[in-house]
Amino acid sequence: MAKYIAKRLVYMVMMVIVLSFVMYLIYNLIPNNRAYTDARAEIQTLKQGLTEEEKETRFDEIYLEYQRRYGTDTNNMLVRYLRWIGLYPKYDGSFDGLLQGNFGYSYEARDEVINVIKAPMFNTILINIFGTVFALGIAIPLGIVCAVKRGSKTDQVVQVITIVGYSLPVFLFCILFIWVFCSILGIFPPSGMKTPGSDYTGWKYVADTMYYLALPLITMTFCSLGGMTRYTRASMIEALSMDCIKTARAKGLREKVVIYSHAFRNALIPIVTLVVGWFLSIFSGSLIIESLFGLHGMGKLMIQSLRTADFDVVILMQLFYVAISLLGNLIIDIIYGLVDPRIRVSK
Amino acid sequence: MSKQNKKKTSFGWLKRLFWGEGKASAQDDVLNVEEIISPGKQIVKNFFERKLAVFALCVVLGMFLFVFIGPLFMPKYYDAYTEVTQKNVPPTLDMMSVPSELKDDIKMIDSYGTFSVGLSNAGKVYVWGASKIGTTGLDVANIPEEVQNAKIAMVAAGIDHIIAIGEDGKVYGWGNARLGQYGGPAAGEENNPNIAYMPEEVMNCKVDVTNIKKLVCGYQVSAILMNDNTLYLWGNKNAYANIDKFIGNNTLTDIEFTLNYVVGVPSGGKSVYTGTRGLFGQIRPNINGEAVDIMTYLNGRSITNIIANNNNICLMLDDNSVCFAGDFKLDSVPMATLAADEYFVQIEAGTDFYTGLTNKGNVYSWGGHLLGQSDVPKKMEGVSQIYAGSFQNYAVDENGKLVDKWGLKGYIFGTDSYGADIFQRIVNGGKMTMTIGAVAVIISAVIGIIVGCLSGYFGGKVDMVLMRVMEGFSAIPFLPFALILSAVMAQMTLSENMRIFIIMCILGVLSWTGLARLVRGQVLAVRESEYVTAAQAMGIKAWKIAFKHILPNVISVILVNLTLSFATCMLTESTLSYLGFGVNYPRPTWGNMLYGANNATIIKNFWWQWLFTSMFLAATTICINIVGDTLRDVMDPKSSVDK
pLDDT, one tens digit per residue, over B589-618 is 998 898 888 878 888 888 999 999 999 999
The dihedral formed by the CA atoms of A297, A299, A304 and A310, expressed in degrees to the nearest 10: 100
Gap from B615 CA to chain A (nearest CA, Å): 10
Q: Does A325 touch chain B (CB under 8 A)?
A: yes
Q: Are A287 and B480 in contact (CB under 8 A)?
A: yes
DSSP 8-class letter at B182: S
Q: Show Cβ contacts of residue B598 under 8 Å, excluding neighbours closer than 6 positions.
A: A292
Residues of B in contact with A26 (CB under 8 A): 484-485, 488
What is the three-class DSSP state of B400?
coil
Interaxial angle between packed helices B51-68 and B608-635, expressed in degrees from 0 to 180 and rounded to the nearest 10: 130
Is A163 close to B575, i.e. CB distance below 8 A? no
Contact B141, B115 (CB under 8 A): yes
Asked if B406 contacts B393 with a C-beta cutoff of 8 angstroms, the reply is yes
| Burial letters A72-94, b for 16+ CB under 10 A, else e | bbeeeeebbbbbbbbebebeeee
Interface test with B, best of A24, A117, A148, A163 (most B CBs within 10 A): A163
**Residue B314 CA to its chain's centroid (Å):** 29
Measured between alpha carbons, how far is B131 from B113 in angstroms, rounded to an integer?
Answer: 9
CB contact under 8 A, B578 and A314: no
Most confident of A84-88, B236-240, B285-289: B236-240
The CATH code that applies to domain B52-76+421-635 is 1.10.3720.10
Are B476 and A170 an interchain contact pair (Cβ–Cβ within 8 Å)? no
Inter-CA distances, B511 with A56, B411, B447, B482, B518, Å = 49, 38, 10, 11, 13
Minimum-distance CB partner of B622 among A15, A18, A163 = A163
* CA gap B213, B189 in Å, rounded: 31
Ranked by mean pLDDT, which of A43-47, B141-145, B180-184 comes out on top? B141-145
Task: Kindly report the backbone phi and psi dihedral angles of residue B229, in degrees, each rounded to the nearest multiple of 5, phi listed first.
Answer: 70, 10
**ipTM for the assembly:** 0.83
Q: Mind telling me how many Å the CA of B330 is from chain A's nearest CA?
A: 36
Provide mean pLDDT across the span B49-59. 91
What local confidence, expressed as pLDDT, does residue B32 receive?
A: 62
Distance CA A115, CA A119 (A): 8
Domains of chain A, CATH where assigned: 25-102 (no CATH), 113-339 (1.10.3720.10)
Q: Which residues of A touch B514 (CB under 8 A)?
A: none
Task: Phi first, then psi: give them for residue B308, nearest 5 degrees.
Answer: -120, 135
- On the CB side of A146, how many CA atoms lie within 13 Å of its CA? 24
Residues 224-243 of A with CB under 8 A from B: 237, 241
Residues A10, A16: Cα–Cα separation, whole Å: 10
Quote the CA–CA distance of B184 and B203 in Å, as a whole number. 8
Q: Is B636 in contact with B43 (CB distance < 8 Å)?
A: no
**In contact, B160 and B134? CB cutoff 8 Å:** yes
**B483 contacts A302? CB cut-off 8 A:** yes
Chain A: residue nearest B594 by CA? Answer: A172
* Arithmetic mean of pLDDT, A159-183: 88
Instruction: Using alpha carbons, select from B253, B246, B258, B399 the residue that is nearest to residue B326.
Output: B258
Tell me the pLDDT tens digit for each residue of B262-319: 999 988 888 888 888 778 888 888 888 888 888 888 888 889 989 998 888 999 998 8
For B221, list phi and psi in degrees, rounded to 5. -130, 160
- Quick check: bond before B586 cis, omega within 30? yes
**How far apart are alpha carbons A52 and B419 in whole angstroms?**
50
Question: In this predicted structure, what is the pLDDT of residue A344?
Answer: 55
Q: Which residue has the higher pLDDT, A116 or A281?
A: A116
Judged by CB atoms closer than 8 Å, whether chains meet at A287 and B479 is answered as: yes
Query: What pLDDT does residue B77 have?
Result: 85
**What's the rounded Cα separation, in Å, for the pair B526 and B534?**
13
For residue B497, report the phi and psi dihedrals to the nearest 5 degrees: -60, -40
Q: What is the pLDDT of residue B619?
A: 93
DSSP designation for B84:
G
Q: Which helix (H) or strand (E) holds B501?
A: helix B496-510
Name which of A167, A237, A326 is nearest B567 (Cβ-Cβ): A167
Which 27-56 residues of chain A touch chain B by CB within 8 A? 27, 29-32
* pLDDT tens-digit series, residues B329-363: 888 888 888 888 899 999 999 888 999 999 988 89
Which A residues in the span 53-92 are in contact with B, Cβ-Cβ below 8 Å? none
